[in-house]
Amino acid sequence: MMNRIFGVSLLGFLVLSCAPTTPAEETGPSPGAGTVTVNNLKFTDIVPADSRVEKIDEGFLFIEGPVWVKDPGYLLFSDVRGDAILKWAPGAQSEPFLTPVFNGPSPPEPRSIGPNGLTLDGSGNLVILETGNRRVARMSLGGGDRETLVERFQGDRFNSPNDLVYHSSGALYFTDPPYGLQGQDESPEKEIDFNGVYRLDPDGTLTVLTRELSRPNGLAFSPDEKILYIANTDPQQKVWMAYDVEKSGAISNGRVLFDATEITAPGGPDGMKLDATGNLYCTGPGGILILTPEGRHIGTIEVDEVPSNLAWGDKDSKTLYITARTGLYRIRLNIQGLLPVGVR
């Protein structure tokens, strides 16, 4: 098991010119530490100045979709190109939990055919977005066969389901970009002529919520579930959107929460999670961008690799586990995370 420690470069700044600013505070580097620059004192309430990012495992192909299982306490995550769901527990190396996931023949070169987003439903079952199989599936954490929850919209196969989140009503919200298709939007296998965001109700009713985003990806609810945030991973429109959630479960009043299109650092809007006070932790250009509910960028946690997704874990939900290409990382924070409905 890897236990390498990296310093964190925490670059805090306000992006709204009308927002009040506070004098910058800077701590000098200590051995092995990154530089901490803070222009907003709220950031130091979240990320301790002496925080470290710890690399806890490595050697994967492209990892994604982490979810923490509280009892007995372990992390599940996907290797989209390695076609596996892996399990990591404190004090142990990662080990296969489910492999293979893709039902077809293995491609000659690794590509995104395996599982992606993972979460738990209200009954504690593992819900899997299967990129190559182009479906949403469910299985018991104890093992056994996988059950298909949904794989088509109006008779057409999904593109490649990517990320997901449950509402307390039991409705599952998920995104369906074309990343698993060779050629993406130009793929002859693409059956749906848009890249949608969907809601699957407990009775099996499937509704498309929006067709307007070119590359819908990560998504999360605000703590009161009145807002749904959606990341758009388009190099020409790297934005996080906010939508009002209506009583019916539909979404409306889409607006840009934060636009990162001009940030040239590697990475794009991908997975996201919220803390208990409503701040967003968004994998994106340059690392993990921390945004206030109003859309102010108050800081960035830089990781050794480009991050793809993240999940809160440990008994107090104050550890942020991060999937980043070939490595698995974590960082301890001062604030408690907002756990998915099925994990609370």
CA atoms of 341 and 48, how far apart (whole Å): 27
Work out the number of other CB atoms within 10 angstroms of the CB of residue 214. 15
Calpha distance 270→268 (Å, rounded): 6
**Of residues 104 and 30, more confidently modeled:** 104
**SS percent in the chain: helix, strand, coil, step 5:** 5, 45, 50
pLDDT at 36 exceeding the cut of 60 = no
Tokens standing for residue 188: 């002859």
What pLDDT is stored for residue 344 in this prediction?
78
Spatial distance between the Cα atoms of 201 and 124, rounded to a whole number of angstroms: 17
Tens digit of each residue's pLDDT (9 = 90 or more) over 44-53: 889 887 788 9
Closest CA to 60 of 36, 89, 85: 85
**What is the model's pTM?**
0.90
Sheet holding 216-221, edge to edge: 216-221, 227-234, 237-245, 251-259
Q: Do the beta carbons of residue 166 and residue 341 sit within 8 Å?
A: yes
> pLDDT class for 106, splitting at 50, 70, 90?
confident
**Contact assessment for residue 106 and residue 83, using Cβ atoms and an 8 Å cutoff:** yes
- Kindly report the number of other CB atoms within 10 A of residue 266's CB atom: 10
What is the CA angle 94-99-100, rounded to 5?
150
Which pLDDT score is estimated for 41? Answer: 60
Q: Is the dihedral of CA 311, 255, 223, 124 positive or negative?
A: negative
Amino acid occupying residue 193: D
